A and B are shown apart, each in its own frame.
Chain A
Amino acid sequence: QKEVEQNSGPLSVPEGAIASLNCTYSDRGSQSFFWYRQYSGKSPELIMSIYSNGDKEDGRFTAQLNKASQYVSLLIRDSQPSDSATYLCAFPGGGNKLTFGTGTQLKVEL
């Protein structure tokens, strides 16, 4: 069974700081990775897709992929209270399915 692990948190950071979220996965052959943000009571929203080793930046978000070590991370710069949410990582779980982590709860404090 393909697995993904995330620290459930909560991870608390002060406003303006960098939040660092991590995810490890079991399948070395995975070629694509995704980060989703989920506000309480809402559905997951895609925020980053990453397909190759290295960093991918989109605004205040940077996804970092290290296939050799089988981890993917998400950095959120200049964290804002509106970033407070649960962040889910996902990777291919066989066929066209995605396997999701259970999520890390992020709290950005004023």
Chain B
Amino acid sequence: DVKVTQSSRYLVKRTGEKVFLECVQDMDHENMFWYRQDPGLGLRLIYFSYDVKMKEKGDIPEGYSVSREKKERFSLILESASTNQTSMYLCASSLSRGALVTEAFFGQGTRLTVV
């Protein structure tokens, strides 16, 4: 079974703090994604990565950065946390199969509260 593991299930941080969310997958997937999910807004893509050291902006990258130094690990960084970044953060990974887009598998999610 595919396993995607996020480092924290719940996190409380103060405004202005630098926050690191870590994600590790064990299936040698090329693609990794960070989403946030808010009530009524669905899943919104923050950043994604097709390969080590490669990253691309998603729909809402402002205030975030990412790092992918190893294939299995994809980190989301909140440079200076703000209260509007309080949300559920979901990491996902998927396999590359040429032009065919494959299913994504999600981690358990991190509920981040910024106070």
The chain A residues found within 8 Å of chain B, CB to CB, are 31-32, 34, 41-46, 49, 51, 88, 90-93, 95-98, 100-103
The yes or no answer to B96 lying at the interface (CB within 8 A) is yes
Do the beta carbons of B40 and A102 come within 8 Å of each other? yes
| A91 CA to B103 CA, complexed, in Å | 9
Inter-chain contact A96/B101, CB cutoff 8 Å: yes
- CB atoms of B42 and A44 under 8 A apart: no
CB <8 Å contact, A98 and B104 = yes
**B106 close to A44 (CB less than 8 A):** yes
In Å, the complex CA distance between A41 and B104 comes to 19
| Structural contact, B42 and A92, CB atoms closer than 8 A | no
On chain B, the number of residues with a Cβ less than 8 Å from chain A's Cβ atoms is: 27
Taking CB atoms, residues of chain A closer than 8 Å to B90 are 43-44
Chain B 38-49 interface 0/1 with A at a Cβ cutoff of 8 Å (1 = within)? 001111010010
- Secondary structure at the A interface, as helix, strand, loop or mixed, is loop
Given contacts A96-B31, A96-B50, contact A45 B42 (CB under 8 A): no
A89 to B77, CA, bound (A): 28
Residues of B within 8 A of A49 (CB): 102-103
Residue of A nearest to B104 (CB): A98
Residues of B within 8 A of A45 (CB): 106
Known contacts A42-B108, A96-B94: A101-B101 contact under CB 8 Å: no
Identify 11 new A-B residue pairs, CB closer than 8 A, beyond the known A43-B107, A88-B42: A42-B109, A43-B109, A44-B90, A49-B103, A95-B56, A96-B96, A96-B101, A97-B45, A97-B58, A97-B101, A102-B42
Q: Are B50 and A95 in contact (CB under 8 A)?
A: yes
From A32, A42, A100, A103, B101 is in contact (CB under 8 Å) with A32
B74 at the interface (CB under 8 A from A): no
A34 to B94, CA, bound (A): 13
Which chain B residues (65-108) contact chain A, with CB distance < 8 Å?
A: 90, 94, 96, 99-108
Q: Are B109 and A102 in contact (CB under 8 A)?
A: no
Report chain A residues within 8 Å CB of B58.
97
| B36 CB to nearest A CB, Å | 12
